[in-house]
Amino acid sequence: GEMAAAPRQLTVPVQIARIHDEVCASSEWGRRVAEVAAFNKAHRWRKRGLGLMGLRFPRPLFASNAVINVHVDGTVLLHHEGVEMGQGLHVKVIQVACDTLGTRLFGYPLPASLVRSADFATEFMPNPWLTAASSTSERMCFAMQDAANRMAEKLMPFVNQESADGQVAERWKEVILAANGAKVNLQQQGEWRPSSGNVIDFYDTYGGTVAEVEIDVLTGEHSVRAFHMSYDCGKSINPLVDIGQAEGAAIMGQGFCTSEQVTWDATGRLINDGTWMYKPPLAPDMPTDFRVHLLDNSAFPGGFASSKATGEPPLLGSVSIFLAIQQAIRSARSDAGEEGFFTLSTPATCAKIQQSCGTKIEDMTVEAAKRGE
């Protein structure tokens, strides 16, 4: 198989070629190339650019543990080693617990209203691995599934097969009452360990993006006219969460590539320590045409329920915005008579864009503007 620079054999199938074709088709790459060229030929002081890139992000998987506590009223409290920080971790582990317990016992998932996930605390889950690298949701789902399967085994003898027409919630509560009356331990630990026997397992996620931007040559302002992403999430267990993660990562990456400049003075004091000077993306900065698509028919056997992680990996796709800005600047420089190599570092702020375009002081006149447009 193909090898990474690490070196490590890449996760197969390597989806980059397929993703490239899909994102080019969805963004109508050929049409955009022609339109951008025509626009740049017709305009001196506004320029457009396109960026296209693929991404590969290696995912580490560490050992993980989880605990299920079932109360006599039928409610379920989940504990795990992950920290919920907005990534949808609790949503996914609740989903796994509901599906595993309910399906094993009754053929249908438990209602999510019965299940709650507690925030992480070391008095319940000591010695955890880190919550990082976008793999925590996946690891906790593995461990929670193990705990739920073990709990279902305990409860199976108390399922009344003759009451199959009853609602799942009612049947669940009957089972719990019976099990509690029989002094069954309604707490269950679950765990997951890397299948390789190593401390860490790795696999790769893949993606691709197309971006179109427009810059103002005189001021350096820019707008993202379009951003299309195709991302290999395997078989997503919750597409709404995963698409939201990909969208959020893309915007974080956009800020890194375009606006979030960190500046210190000669003494090392941070100058832009607030949003008056430090500029994360806001609502007006969102791409006008913003699309994220999870790759179809890409189930990954090595992932939880054939899925792959989201979170950090899609952030890399925002580099296509930076590449598009570079192309737009290159067109402006050509009109200014400046050809050849130029340097543009991230983030591509207004000042950097304006200064890279080869704009001269004599261009800052009404007459020059009229000639250019």
pLDDT tens-digit series, residues 86-125: 999 999 999 999 999 999 999 999 999 999 999 999 988 9
Helix (H), strand (E) at residue 70: strand 64-70
Residue count of the chain, please give it: 373
pLDDT of residue 8: 67
- Catalytic (active-site) positions: 312
Give the contacts of 194 (CB within 8 A, at least 6 positions apart). Answer: 61, 62, 63, 200, 201
pLDDT of residue 5: 61
Helix (H), strand (E) at residue 101: helix 89-106
Cα–Cα distance, 3 to 1 (Å, whole number): 6
What counts of helices (H) and strands (E) characterise the chain?
Answer: 9, 8
pLDDT of residue 353: 97
pLDDT of residue 363: 82
Query: Is the pTM for the entire model greater than 0.85?
Result: yes
pLDDT of residue 6: 61
Domain ranges of the chain: 16-60+205-372, 63-192
CA geometry: angle at 191 spanning 185 and 193, to 5°?
160
Rg of the chain over Cα atoms, rounded to whole angstroms, equals 26
pLDDT of residue 368: 75
Domain 16-60+205-372, architecture per CATH: 2-Layer Sandwich (3.30)
Cα–Cα distance, 172 to 177 (Å, whole number): 9
- pLDDT beneath 50: ranges in the chain: none
Instruction: Please tell us whether the domain made up of 63-192 is placed in CATH 3.30.365.10.
Output: yes
pLDDT of residue 367: 80
